Amino acid sequence: MCTHAADPFAPFLDPLETECHFLQTAVGSSSHAPSTVVYNFRHSGWAKTRHRVYAALESIEGERTRAESFRSCGSHAQVCESLAEPGVYRIATFNCHDRFCKPCTRFASTKRANVVYDFIKGRMVRFFTFTLKHNKEPLGDLLDRLKAAFSKLRKRKEWNRRVDGGVVFLELTWHERHGWHPHLHVIAEGRFFPQQQLAALWKECTGDSHVVNVVAVKDARKAAEYVAKYATKGYSDAILERDDTLREALIILKGRKLSSTFGSWRGLNLHDDEHTNEWVPLASLDDMHRQALAGNVYAEALLRHLQDPNKVPSPGPWEPAKYQIDNGNGQHPPPSKPLHQPQLEFLESDHRFSPWL
């Protein structure tokens, strides 16, 4: 019987070797399929927490599909070619997009921070933080209250006179002593807002909380630091470390927006969606690897390029006939059917991947 039978990630659980080059298999020094290397690399560094999140998802009624998607995140690695630039290749995988999946959130929040940073370049912006008084309320009630208070604030004349538009991010922390502590980080464009006046206004909107922070940032480097701090946090790791807080957060945050734009910034697309339809999936990474092992020099050249695109040139535009060549040993498996495109997402956003190096 399989020794990994009790482990939910068993199919992918080969031990991680960060130095693993998948082409070593071709010379007999590694038993890793490249997709396993890609998958393991994606989830290296958070295995324990990942198991905990998966177990929590499995235990929540109605979340089986979500749990399955979470488990499969980073699998189905495919080799894709650019439609616009034939001969340029990337690897894409299926990603779960769950906000409790670390690699997915890290990726999404970096994109979000880049979008915001590009947008605010050259604009005078202010960074606000709005907090709620600690009172050990259940998380759902706190979030409802925070949302209602912020929408009240945005209807106030004093706010509208000074703030034209902005983007708001929810951050959630949890402390042993105080319980849940949701707060809002806002990046906004407008005029000077005296802190005391804002604090008084926030107290009127919340009924009991007056702690607000506002900073004007002119220096571009400082602004970038603030954006990274405001746009990428989401929730603190402490929440994932306890079963009760994790479960509550998984249930309560489901379907809630953690970021949105308002006023003149409405419509700013925080997701910077990549156009996967500009890339054509050619074959699964493992299939290409099997082809290379079976002696297909074309498949091998492509894999060597993918593994180290800076050093190994691309073999040029895709030539299916070369990929299909049977070298006479009859061992060629037929190419696997590529996944439907919308399911795919590239390993890295702005450069070609060599994540397993």
Binding residues for Zn ion (CB under 5 A): 73, 96, 101, 104
Q: Which of residues 187 and 285 has its CB atom nearest to Zn ion in the complex?
A: 285
Nearest distance, CB of residue 105 and Zn ion, angstroms: 8
Cβ within 8 Å of residue 236, ≥6 positions away: 171, 172, 173, 174
Q: Which of residues 225 and 237 has its CB atom nearest to Zn ion in the complex?
A: 237
Q: Which of residues 101 and 246 has its CB atom nearest to Zn ion in the complex?
A: 101
Nearest distance, CB of residue 140 and Zn ion, angstroms: 24
Nearest distance, CB of residue 208 and Zn ion, angstroms: 38
Three-state DSSP class for 125?
Answer: strand
Three-state DSSP class for 274?
Answer: coil
DSSP 8-class letter at 24: G
* Distances 319 to 81, 229, 323 between C-alpha atoms, Å: 11, 46, 7
Nearest distance, CB of residue 277 and Zn ion, angstroms: 21
Q: Which of residues 104 and 250 has its CB atom nearest to Zn ion in the complex?
A: 104
Closest Cα partner for 214 from 201, 308, 329?
201
Nearest distance, CB of residue 210 and Zn ion, angstroms: 38
Closest Cα partner for 42 from 5, 63, 12, 65?
12
- Torsion on CA atoms 174, 178, 179, 183, rounded to nearest 10: -60
Q: Which of residues 23 and 73 has its CB atom nearest to Zn ion in the complex?
A: 73
Nearest distance, CB of residue 104 and Zn ion, angstroms: 3
Closest Cα partner for 76 from 350, 342, 354, 352?
342
Sort 237 into a burial class: Cβ within 10 Å, 0-12 / 13-18 / 19+.
exposed
Give backbone dihedrals phi and psi of 250, rounded to 5 degrees, phi first: -60, -40
DSSP 8-class letter at 177: T
- Give start and end residues of each alpha helix (H) in 91-219: 102-120, 139-155, 157-162, 195-206
Q: Which of residues 75 and 259 has its CB atom nearest to Zn ion in the complex?
A: 75
Q: Which of residues 104 and 303 has its CB atom nearest to Zn ion in the complex?
A: 104
Nearest distance, CB of residue 120 and Zn ion, angstroms: 28
